[in-house]
Structure 1
Amino acid sequence: MTDETATTTVEGTILRGTELEPVEGRVVVEDGEIAAVEETSVDSTDIVLPAFVNAHTHIGDSIAKEAGAGLSLDELVAPPDGLKHRLLRSASREELVTAMRHSLQFMQASGTAAFLEFREGGVEGVEHLREAVEGLAIDPVIFGRETVDAIDVADGFGASGARDANFERERLACRKADKPFAIHAGERDPHDIDAALDLDPAFLVHMVHPEPHHFERVADSEIPIAVCPRSNLVTKVGLPPLREWLDRTTVALGTDNVMLNSPSMFREMEFTAKLCDVSAREVLQMATVNGAEIAGLNCGVVEPGKDAKLLVLDGETDNLVGARDPVRAVVRRAGHADVKRMVPGERV
């Protein structure tokens, strides 16, 4: 394994800065931090970019992959008796931890450095995820759910939606603990969006069905949004108005429920780029820069002073060789098989 405490260099076409501008050169890493980005001629055809930050996941649902075909959104995931909640309650700790670890290993191997998890199960659910991620080079930002005391052991609280309960108590607890509060909103229809915005969350999830005044409220408040387009189509709620949201606030990309979709940011980016009115560069920003910003992480950008969480793609694979535009190639074409290296490698 690579000793990431020593100085190391990564060479190739670097997608640099918040604009992900392709430059030829090398990234110098010292003690886990980017020390320099040197623009110079190199022999490598690799593509070096920020590792992904998955802005919305339900990793616990790894216990129920591809269950519930043909069920409605409420039948699948609505608390407390949607299919996923019944399966979560019936699974043992060992089953849950093992299933989550498989998904986390896949995420790490396919370029994800961090993820924002809405974790069911209260305090115990948070503990299960921390056990599952132990030793992996992927960082969880855990939003506890279901019980207010989950806030004590999690990084914040993730509410199911304002139609399900009054979350003012959890919001107040997050303020007192100086931790973020986030909430699903506008997934099925617009009727829970105002109540969600009234809670002044750190970010909103989904926002598929806004009404005109919601665009104004979000723009005025500058509340970020995590979108999950693949999940939204699987559950038949439609696609979020991405162009309108990008014009008004910070938008990040998530893969949502492992029950319904693989936690692959490559698949999410390609799907989003090809079905929504967004550029490849905007999609890659949503998967890196913006996700890190929402999570408050010092990564997502290849620049000196940032944590060295890098993804290196092999530019000579049969899939990527000859690509004329590296940003479009990463977003619309690249996949798990093109990953050459993650920096850092696995922790020991």
Structure 2
Amino acid sequence: MVVVRAKYVLWGADLEVVEDGVVEVDDEGKVAGIGKYSGQISLDLGNAVLMPQLVDAHIHPLDVAMADRDDYYIDDLVGWPHGVKYHFLRRLVAKRRHLRPLEALARRARRYGIGCVVAYAEYAAGDVEAAFKKYGVDALAFQEAHGDMPEHPYVQVASPLDHPPEYLKELRRRHKLVSTHVSETEDCHEAGDLDLALKILDADVLVHLVYATAEEIEAIPRGKAVVINPRANAYFVGRLPDVPSLMPLRPLLGTDNAFVNEPDIWAEVKFLHAYGRTRGWDLDERDLLKMATTWPWEKLRCGSPIDVGLRAKALAVALPYPTHNVYKFLARRAGAQDVLAFIEGDEVVFQHEI
């Protein structure tokens, strides 16, 4: 039995706070108990928070090989099949030159506190999964479909507008999980991409929804996973989706294109919090943290809460000074500089060991 103590423990799907808390992990690596400190411990993290590891619910990791090449209009840059990105990545993967930058990105993602990614792979989904696994990050990789039928169980299309309805229906029939980008630009929204995504493709995961109206959002079935990408949306199209309307769907957070953004979910939380203030949105800090931790578990089984019976998968975050509200500290201040260690089953991996 391993017993870990911290100033605060955020446990369960609702991130309930236990002050001066302990997490007991059994010999199988599962959480056996959560409570207040009452005796002998194996590891005292001191003035720190023990919380679920972060989830990046939408990242294009292969993009990192063309870092900072964002000097094109968005459709010319990432549009399928003739966007600059596709021409570049096809050549890169064919020559196997994508592995080194991909592994560098995976290592950096881990150092930000990421425990799981929902990765969109234009090509080579298996390589994407292996690169993240090397650094202890679980990857739910969606292989992009290019008019073919990938053998990978999870598939995505850049847009449902890119393919005929018969093809979209066949993708749905053959694959376990299906995802697509929707309503990222005004043109795509006006062309009816959201309607196609819901009624023809029946996508499990909907990404962006920048131009979706409150009425359209209300019609999305509650079982769907929706993902917003605050920094990328602000950069590429100058606006964010109607986040308050999305909250009943329990939206997830992603960093999107790795050629623009670091895989830093802390930055997404901070940006969304600040942007929400400018719009008068009443976004609760605890909900912002759920978007990056427990809601991805509920929707996609990516990541995991700290809860009895589940495999221990936690993140230790240092508290450099006293705080009267741990949720506010994590949503407004915390970052990679505060990550102390990862709890993986009955093992503890410290940041400097990554």
TM-score, normalization by structure 2: 0.86
> Considering only aligned residues, what root-mean-square deviation do their CA atoms show, in Å?
2.3
Displacement of 1:11:
1.4
Q: How many residues align?
A: 329
Distance of aligned partners of 1:168 and 1:249 in 2 relative to their CA distance in 1, 3 Å threshold: farther
Q: Which residue of 2 aligns with 1:304?
A: 308
Contact 2:214 2:245 in 1 (8 A): no
Gaps in structure 2 of 5+ consecutive residues = none
Q: 2:173 aligns with which of 156, 167, 175?
A: 175
Q: Which residue of 1 aligns with 2:212?
A: 210
Contact 1:222 1:250 in 2 (8 A): no
How far apart in 2 are the matches of 1:168 and 1:58?
26
Distance of aligned partners of 1:23 and 1:134 in 2 relative to their CA distance in 1, 3 Å threshold: closer
Deviations 1:169-223 (A, max 9, x none): 354344344x1111110100223111111122112000011134412321x4542
How far apart in 1 are the matches of 2:173 and 2:104?
34
Which deviates more from structure 2 when the two are superposed, residues 328-337 or residues 37-46?
37-46
Matched, 1:119 2:114: no
How far apart in 1 are the matches of 2:91 and 2:265?
29
Q: Which amino acid in the other structure matches residue 175 of structure 1?
A: R
How far apart in 1 are the matches of 2:299 and 2:304?
11
Contact 1:55 1:254 in 2 (8 A): yes
Deviations 1:56-82 (A, max 9, x none): 11001110111123x211122111222
Deviations 1:137-185 (A, max 9, x none): 1011011113466642x341111112222364354344344x1111110
Matched, 1:129 2:125: no
How far apart in 2 are the matches of 1:138 and 1:183?
23
Report the secondary structure of 1:238's partner residue: coil
Contact 1:8 1:28 in 2 (8 A): yes
How far apart in 2 are the matches of 1:167 and 1:136?
39
Displacement of 1:303:
1.1
How far apart in 2 are the matches of 1:228 and 1:65?
18
Gaps in structure 1 of 5+ consecutive residues = 1-6
Q: Which amino acid in the other structure matches residue 161 of structure 1?
A: S
TM-score, normalization by structure 1: 0.88
Deviations 1:323-343 (A, max 9, x none): 221111111101111000012
Report the secondary structure of 2:161's partner residue: coil
Distance of aligned partners of 1:307 and 1:175 in 2 relative to their CA distance in 1, 3 Å threshold: farther
Deviations 1:119-150 (A, max 9, x none): 112xxx11321342343210110111134666
Contact 1:188 1:237 in 2 (8 A): no
How far apart in 1 are the matches of 2:55 and 2:106?
13
Matched, 1:17 2:12: yes
Q: Which amino acid in the other structure matches residue 228 of structure 2?
A: V
Report the secondary structure of 2:24's partner residue: strand
Q: Which amino acid in the other structure matches residue 226 of structure 1?
A: V
Matched, 1:142 2:133: no
Displacement of 1:94:
3.9
Deviations 1:19-62 (A, max 9, x none): 21221211112323222112236872111100011111100111
Q: Which amino acid in the other structure matches residue 155 of structure 2?
A: F
Matched, 1:193 2:184: no
Q: Which residue of 1 aligns with 2:162?
A: 164
Contact 1:144 1:150 in 2 (8 A): no
